[in-house]
Chains A and B, each alone.
Chain A
Amino acid sequence: MKKFFVRLRIGIAIIVTKFLVFVLRLLGRGGTSLPGKAALKIYPELLSVLSDRFRVIMITGTNGKTTTSRIVAGMLDQAGIRYVSNKSGANLSSGIATTIVSALSLSGKPLVRTVLLETDEAAFRTVAPMLKPEIAIVTNFFRDQLDRYGELYTTLNNVREGIKGTPETRLILNADDSLCASLGRDVPNQVIYFGLGDNVYPEDFVKANTDAAFCINCKSRYDYISSSFGHLGHFRCPSCGYERPGAQIECTQILEYDNLSSTIEIRTPSGKITAKLALPGLYNIYNALAGTAVGHLLELGENDLVRVLEGFECGFGRMESFEAEGRTFRMILVKNPTGFNQVLRYLMTQADKCVIAFIINDRIADGTDISWLWDVDFEILSFILKKVRKFYVSGIRAEDMAVRLKYAGVPQDSIFIEHDGNKLINSMIEASGEKENLYILPTYTAMLDIRKTLRERFNLKEFWK
């Protein structure tokens, strides 16, 4: 009898969810979170009960979740595995429930067997033990919207607790991140580490390691043999001996590195591959390594791995570009100091004249505290001052950003405040020459706004792919 009621509730939860998704889509709304929320209200144990019907792959960590998910999706495609995945921005338990239900028929039979889930770090704590993923990838831990979770160690702990509930899960962890790598210590799980080889990309801009300079076990200061960015690198604690673990998936060489792509050599347990990533920046090399680790577990051959790595395109808002009025617009989302620093470093590879616009909002989705702008190393802009025709600042916090640029050494007369999106675009075009790059660096909600403006201004359909 009890079993009957469980099945009944699952059935109702599925039907309600599917109905809500249907109605919300009719209304032209996204419908990614609300239906799942309703499902969990009807049957809170839904995820646990459904977990054995699926093979789940979860991706969590503060930076690079979306891009890594995209690469993993490519690996699944290449392996001929059908799957469903959640949309960016729907990575809490409600969005995950919506996604899981979408993989079921009305009678509760799985339509596909594999579910790929980008998962918020706090949600991971509760969702992972319920879904018992076959594979969990943790990308890294950088400070991100501290007003949301309190602090970095809370975020790390959330993920650690999640892992405790899933001893069977195979973990894919960042070896170069002392916080992330610590998740693989003293756990029964099988662990695969990925990272950059020693001195593959030695840090060349001076930057103090601020996120995790001290040993997570014994609080001594780490020694670094080499570092890539932020606190990532080959760390070693001189006191307790905790050090960067050996990486099974390792980038052994960066052969080319410019503002559009990088060509890297990756060593996996089954051999070496060379791939040209169609995404710029060191952070994307890490994302590619995490994706390669999944490809390795799926037993993809060398050619398949290379095909996926060379074929993937940008995730939602991570870097999108289009041509208009003879110029190239390039938009890159900025959301926390580490990500922003990587974007600035990417701008260092800019060869010709360009225009840069920073659009900073402080709505809840952006983080209401914009203090983190002072943790970003805008000082390195001094290397490209001659190439930047004008710096524009926009968004709710345009004035804060203007002050930040001034104190980073950008001359006051090359900083322009423009709140209106349309005027901003016009001014950027006017300030630049043919074929030049116009960079737009918005926070999350600013990105939604400016994308709308661009779409209307240039009659673009979905230019983000």
Chain B
Amino acid sequence: MYEINICHLYPDLLNLYGDRGNIICLSKRCEWRGIEVNVKGISIGDDFRWEDYDIIFIGGGQDYEQTILQDDLMNGKRQGIIEAVEAGKVFLAICGGYQILGKYYRTHDGKDIECIGALNLWTHGGDTRLIGNLVFEVDFLKTKDNNGYIVGFENHGGKTYLGEGVKPLGKVIKGFGNNGGDGFEGAVYKNTFCTYSHGSLLPKNPALADHLIMLALLNKYPDFQGLEPIDDTLENLAHSTLIKRFTE
């Protein structure tokens, strides 16, 4: 029997906008297929042994809470996170978690706050927040029955720019995306996926959820043959209803 270990980084601090729905979604979709799932929350002061996990998740938090974990992150878990990303662990980072993985965050008044630097990207704080429903098109999710669209909700003050070696996750169809300027959304590097889309992201984008589970299983079980389909009637209905509403 297959087994997936999920690590939720700072679940008690980075827990804005229902991002825990992503963990619920990954767990359930494994469970429904008979894949055993263990979820562990790793927070301030906890040991982070990245080798123990198959999927690592980091969400966004309020500013105050992000300052609380700054020290634990920069002087503690930073190295582990960089190693995990480089080793090709499946990593999902949303909003504040996305920004944290980059090199720095330049505040509104021009101060640079150093970030982990696991990915070659950076963020500049803007004067207005980019808020609203977000639809973007992801190439690797395209199949003959699937246009690769992802739907979510974005709410961020920072504008993120990608450097060499990091590719955008998708092309914006509706909304702002990374910076409201270049038409791209999110970032991909090895098996690390970053996005501004919460809402929650995975439950109503089951193709992306399954893609992450599949990559994690491939990493761990070289003989893994592929995921069994499950009944996604409700998920697909939610997905298509929203895409239709926001793109027509």
Contacts and interface: CB of A to CB of B under 8 A. Distances in A.
| Secondary structure dominating the interface of B | mixed
Interface stretch (A303-311, A400-408, A451-459): A400-408
Interface string B1-28: 0000000000111011111110011001
Interface string B41-72: 00010000000000000000011110110000
7 contacts: A371-B198, A375-B15, A399-B234, A399-B242, A400-B242, A403-B204, A404-B203
A412 B234 CA distance: 8
B234 A415 contact: yes
A209 B12 contact: yes
Given A370-B199, A402-B234, 17 more contacts: A146-B17, A151-B63, A151-B64, A152-B62, A214-B65, A214-B68, A221-B44, A371-B19, A371-B21, A371-B198, A371-B199, A374-B19, A374-B24, A399-B204, A399-B234, A399-B242, A412-B234
A368 B132 contact: yes
Contacts of B227: none
A221 B24 CA distance: 25
Contacts of A370: 153, 199
Interface in A122-147: 146-147
A62 to B, nearest CB: 14
Interface string A211-254: 00110000101000000000000000000000000000000000
B62 A213 contact: no
Interface in B64-99: 64-65, 67-68
A400 B198 CA distance: 13
A210 B25 contact: no
A147 B12 contact: no
A402 B16 CA distance: 21
Contacts of B198: 371
A424 B238 CA distance: 19
A372 B19 CA distance: 9
B28 A407 contact: yes
Contact of A213 (B12, B18, B24, B238): B12
B241 interface: yes
Nearest to A376: B18
B165 to A, nearest CB: 31
A388 interface: no
A369 interface: yes
A209 B43 CA distance: 14
Nearest to A408: B24
Contacts of B62: 151-153
B234 A147 contact: no
A371 to B, nearest CB: 4
B157 to A, nearest CB: 8
A329 B10 CA distance: 42
Contact of A374 (B11, B132, B200): B200
In the complex, which range does the number of interface residues on chain B fall in? 35 or more
A400 B28 contact: no
Contacts of B20: 374-375
Contacts of A221: 12, 44
Q: Is the interface of A mostly helix, strand, loop or mixed?
A: helix
Interface string A142-172: 0000110011110000000000000000000
Nearest to B29: A407
A208 interface: yes
B141 interface: no
B129 interface: yes
Contact of A412 (B16, B24, B131, B231): B231
B146 interface: no
A400 B238 contact: yes
Contacts of A150: 129
Interface string A377-408: 00000000000000000000001101110110
A406 B21 contact: no
B199 A369 contact: yes
Given A147-B155, A153-B64, A406-B234, A371 B18 contact: yes
B237 interface: yes
Contact of A399 (B17, B133, B238): B238
A230 B91 CA distance: 29
A373 B13 contact: no
Contacts of B131: 147, 368-369
Contacts of B247: none
A214 B13 contact: yes
A370 B231 CA distance: 24
Given A153-B63, A402-B238, A372 B17 contact: yes
Contacts of A147: 131, 155
A402 B67 CA distance: 36
Contacts of A152: 62
Contacts of B28: 407
A407 B25 contact: yes
Given A371-B18, A373-B18, A403 B242 contact: no
B233 interface: yes
B17 A210 contact: no
Contacts of B63: 151, 153
A403 B153 contact: no
Given A209-B12, A210-B12, A219-B68, A412 B233 contact: yes
Interface string B215-248: 0000000000000000101110110011000000
By Cβ-Cβ distance, the 3 closest A-B pairs, closest first, are: A374-B18, A374-B21, A371-B18
B68 A403 contact: no
B210 to A, nearest CB: 14
B200 to A, nearest CB: 5
